[in-house]
A and B are shown apart, each in its own frame.
Chain A
Amino acid sequence: MSRSSLLACCLALLTPLVPLAHAADADRTHEYTLDNGLALIVQEDHRAPTAVVQIWYRVGGAYEHDGITGVSHALEHMMFKETESLATGEFSKIVAARGGRENAFTGTDYTAYFQQWSADNVEESFRLEAERMHRLVISDEEFDKEINVVLEERRLRTDDNPQALAMEAAQAVAYQTSPYRQPIIGWEADIEQMTAADLRAWYRRWYVPNNATVVVVGDVDPEAVLALARKHFGPIPARDIVPPKARPEVPQRGTKRVEFGSDKARIPFMVMGFKVPVLTTARAGGEVEEWEIYALDVLAETLDGDASARLPRSLVRGRELASHIDAGFSATSMLPTLFYFSAVPREGVSLAELEQAILAEIDALKQEPPSSEELARIKTQVVAETVFERDSMQHQATIIGSLESVGLDWRLKDDYVDKIRAVTREQVRQVAMKYFTPDTLTVAYLEPEVAP
């Protein structure tokens, strides 16, 4: 359901929209830009003597093209290896010895690295991140080992996981020209043929201060953090960034379908995706208005915001057609995305029946948009979430970093409650009519199959 699990980095970006922070964030959040173009955003949180430091680069799966898919992610792995001053493994040893936790994640729209530790280690984060921003060493020897790790990761996450394969297939089929058709981890052949030289070129192209946002949330003094940022990142020269050529998705004609069987699967599974615009689309002008995106978010909450929402009420309980169902979209993607439904049918229910039932619920929304009671529920939950979200510094930083990285403003999170409150039932009906049509739909079916 859309409002649960906001903490994992991956899921955070998939929540209905921006999980919000508190209205007072503007008072405790400070934004700076260094002379070399590096953006720095600091949010104070003095509840505990800790801090999270994240650095976001505007590069990810959607920046890639055929033949080099997965290069952003493979590079992320290599960022934990050697630099001009640090031997392989030394970076992580330093972080661990100071009690730190670290990790990184690659998305379609960005690549991000973080450390969580005592707030007095912020300078060490900056020193280490500045080092690997411009002095990374990608040796053939380390690359050859690490690319095997990436292949193992692909097997683990995707190739041995039939539902993940269904998702991958749905995306690859849904998008004809958008780079979102490519898996973030890359196609297997692309990973196998990748070279250290590919990664070096990718690193030189994207890892520059003017393509990065540093986010610090924690028990820190913003001015002191700015001084440290100037000291460590300031000397790194900016370089011109050449963005990838735009590859807008061509208009879809007719519903697309993919159906397959897997001898690893034991239960059927389906994915439906409707193409929808996102906030960046609305900002770019043209035919999409910003309220439409917020109305889509309310629509998602109406269908699947919590256990009282329409899909669990009518399809999991009620008609008892689904064992599990999920719906939602990420309004803060960089490019137009898919509004997803994924579902597992109850025993004896076919995927086709379940698909029809989901389509019927969408039709019902067109006839019967959310009631005032449903809208009140959604608005109360949005306000509550803005408060709950404040409990996780990592989550706060992730919201800020992801918004900035896709070209939206972190202040968006402060306006979110008001924008959602302004959505009317008629607006929800309008977006349901406009975007949920056979010409925007892709469906993937996965059926269990006994091996021959």
Chain B
Amino acid sequence: MSAPLGRIAQCVGVLVAGALLSGQVSANPRIEHWQTDNGARVYFVAAPEIPMLDVRVVFAGGSARDGDKPGLGRLTNELLTEGAGERDADAFNTALGATGARLSNGALRDMAYVELRTLVDPEYAGPALGLLQDALAAPRFDDAALERVKARTLIALKHKQQSPDAIAEETFYANLYPDHPYGTPPEGTPQSVAAISRKDVATFHERYYVAANAVIAIVGAIDRPHAERIAAELAGALPKGTAAPPLPEVAAGSAHEERVEFPSIQSHVRVGLPGMTRGDPDYFPLLVGNHALGGNSLVSILFREIRGKRGLSYSAYSYFVPMDQAGPFVAALQTDRSQEDEAMRVLRATIDDFVKNGPPPADLEAAKQNLIGGFPLRIDSNDKITDYIAMIGFYGLPLDYLETFAGKVAAVTPEAVQDAFARRVAPDRLVTVIVGRSEADGDG
């Protein structure tokens, strides 16, 4: 759910957290992998140092599975913790609160997940895992909860419409994926959410929250036999079912621009196209190349050209979102309406130059150094390790993904980057979305 501003922002950072890079690691955790009897794939890392346990269960049940009911996957996921088993929402949350555990859930385009962080002490872990199991296998979908979550979603959708950045994001996906399930917003639309019934939700849950469609990631202060018992119990509560069918491929689009009128002072800009898949053969050249172009925070080319040299935007960055099918490549900035033309010119010229002439050697080298040198940071907490093994499991990446990461980054050549970008980020196919005022003057 997109929560309205909850607490006052007390800190103001120098750098916006733009790049949602994910990808890599050094003193590698030992990943153990097996399947439960009914087909759930399990990934486990023993982390004995802190007496806690993280369990994340991921399903191919994100909004890409919504069909003609946008918002269904998200709504189903949100309802899992609004009453399950013997307990209604109040009783469920009271029982959870007594364990001290945190339970969170979410649904993106590819995946839907529920995750638990609990003390490893069985006095707490026992009931907490029981509640996780209920949420996964026995959600009640009470009418009152359904209506309440729908009402909350409708307000969240309105809230999104007061954020130029959120509008830009939604418009961008719609333009990149006009005939693909990635094109609809995971939260749905007011019309589609209003029409979702309890039966829709129950049917979605029955289809996708099944063992053969699940990945279970476990990290914590337990041994393998203990992890096997937890996984067997969680998966055992689910029907075996079948894995979700493959998603359709993304069709190549053509360059166009969409402008959305909004009374903001700034224009919010996104430029991009369908980029790459998680297992893409061009993954490393695109990752490393983008790190030079717009992913290496304060030293990337876009940051330097747009913010450092010209002071045009607070944030200026680019990233790929590797997904099951080609997720977006996006370059973004936001600037006062009066500077929009100049910012767009610099953004376009920077991308064009990068694609046409390849990465400047010094920038590529800096990107590789940062990715390789920064590898240990990517796995230095249980939280991050859970992220990685869940991702490896969900996308079927090899178990040695982390060990081979640095070597694959090191092997990327300037020619490989130039070649991959020329094929995958052709400037004549870039889609532009601008949210802001159409007229350059006016008081906003």
Listed in ascending order, the chain A residues whose CB lies under 8 Å from chain B are: 3-4, 9-11, 13-14, 47-50, 73, 76-77, 80, 88-89, 92-93, 96-108, 116-118, 144-149, 151-153, 155-157, 159-164, 167, 171, 184-185, 263-267, 269, 305-309, 312-313, 316-317, 320, 323-324, 326, 328, 330, 340, 342, 344, 346-347, 376-377, 380-381, 383-385, 387-388, 390-393, 448, 451
A-B contacts, 17 listed (Cβ < 8 Å): A4-B102, A48-B381, A97-B373, A152-B266, A152-B335, A153-B12, A155-B266, A156-B315, A159-B265, A307-B93, A328-B7, A340-B7, A384-B118, A384-B119, A385-B100, A388-B102, A451-B263
**A451 → chain B closest CB, angstroms:** 6
Judging by beta carbons under 8 Å apart, are B376 and A11 in contact? no
Cα separation A342 to B265 with both chains bound (whole Å): 25
A340 to B8, CA, bound (A): 9
Interface hub of B10, B266, B375, B377 (most chain A Cβ within 10 A)? B10
The 7 closest A-B pairs by CB, nearest first: A99-B373, A384-B100, A99-B374, A48-B380, A148-B311, A145-B311, A10-B11
Name the distance in Å between B37's Cβ and chain A's nearest Cβ: 31
Contact with A along B354-395 (1 / 0, CB 8 A): 000000000000100111111111011111000000000000
Give Cα A89–Cα B336 distance, bound, in whole angstroms: 24
> Bound complex: CA of A320 vs CA of B370, how far in Å?
49
Give chain A residues whose Cβ lies under 8 Å from the Cβ of B310. Answer: 145
Q: How far is the CB of B361 from chain A (nearest CB, A)?
A: 14
Residues of B within 8 A of A97 (CB): 366, 369-370, 373
**Which residues of A have CB within 8 Å of B313?**
149, 152
B residues adjacent to A (C-beta < 8 A): 1, 3-15, 26-27, 47, 49-52, 81, 89-90, 93-94, 96-102, 104, 117-119, 124, 148, 151-152, 154-156, 158-159, 161-164, 262-266, 296-299, 304, 307-315, 334-336, 366, 369-377, 379-383
> Closest CB-CB distance, A89 to chain B, in whole Å?
6
Taking a contact as CB atoms under 8 Å apart, the answer to whether A323 and B151 are in contact is yes
In whole angstroms, what is the CA distance A92 to B90 when docked? 49
Nearest chain B residue, comparing its CB with the CB of A380: B100
User: For the complex, would chain B's binding face be called helix, strand, loop or mixed by DSSP majority?
Assistant: mixed
Contact between B162 and A267, CB atoms less than 8 A apart? yes
B342 to chain A, nearest CB (A): 12
Of the listed residues A80, A100, A155, A157, the one surrounded by the most CB atoms of chain B closer than 10 A to its CB is A155
A92 and B119 contact, Cβ closer than 8 Å, known pairs A99-B377, A387-B52: no
Q: A11: which B residues are within 8 A, CB to CB?
A: 7
Given A383-B100, A384-B118, 5 additional A-B pairs, CB 8 A: A103-B14, A152-B336, A157-B12, A307-B97, A392-B383
Summed over the interface, the residue pairs from A and B with CB atoms below 8 Å come to a total of 258
Q: Report the bound CA distance from A391 to B265 in whole Å.
A: 40
Instruction: For B3, list chain A residues within 8 Å (CB).
Output: 324
A265 close to B152 (CB less than 8 A): no
Closest residue on chain B to residue A15 by CB atoms: B7
Chain A, residue nearest B6 (CB): A326
Complex Cα distance A112/B104, Å? 30
Contact A89 B373 (CB under 8 A): no
- CB <8 Å contact, B374 and A100: yes
Given A80-B14, A344-B155, A391-B382 in contact, is the A96-B97 Cβ separation under 8 Å? Answer: no
| B90 contact from A313, A330, A347, A388, Cβ within 8 A | A313
Q: Contact: B5 with A342, CB < 8 Å?
A: yes
Q: Are B11 and A184 in contact (CB under 8 A)?
A: yes
